[in-house]
Amino acid sequence: MQQEAAVDGEGLEVWIDQDLCTGDGICAQYAPEVFELDIDGLAYVKSSQDELLQAPGATTPVPLTLLRDVADSAKECPGDCIHVRRVSDRVEVYGPDAE
């Protein structure tokens, strides 16, 4: 099992707002283990078992080894639709709502 990423020692999770997704696929290029484009042309997160999570607001843990790639995906996303937050308090640390 992959170790989850942490900021200040806390686990992180990521989700995509499909209403804002532009389908550019930048996220899937940066972190194909975490993101995938579906047949509808939108990006979704994947579970640690490589299952596409299509429910609105579905989250998946951020593996420690992929933290930089996931953070870069959130920063480079043209739709500003990738949200990375701490699991404990759901505060966004990367993405459009990060402080």
Q: Which domain holds residue 60?
A: 6-94
Number of domains in the chain: 1
The CA distances from residue 57 to 8, 15, 44, 97, in Å, are 24, 6, 10, 15
Q: Let me know if residue 42 belongs to a domain.
A: yes
Q: Please report, in tens digits, the pLDDT of each residue of the chain (99 residues total).
A: 344 455 555 699 999 999 999 999 999 999 999 999 999 999 999 999 999 999 999 999 999 999 999 999 999 999 999 999 999 999 999 999 997
The answer to the question of residue 1 being in a domain is: no
Q: Is residue 47 part of a domain?
A: yes
Assigned domain for 99 exists = no
The CATH number for 76's domain is 3.30.70.20
Task: Identify whether 54 is part of a domain.
Answer: yes
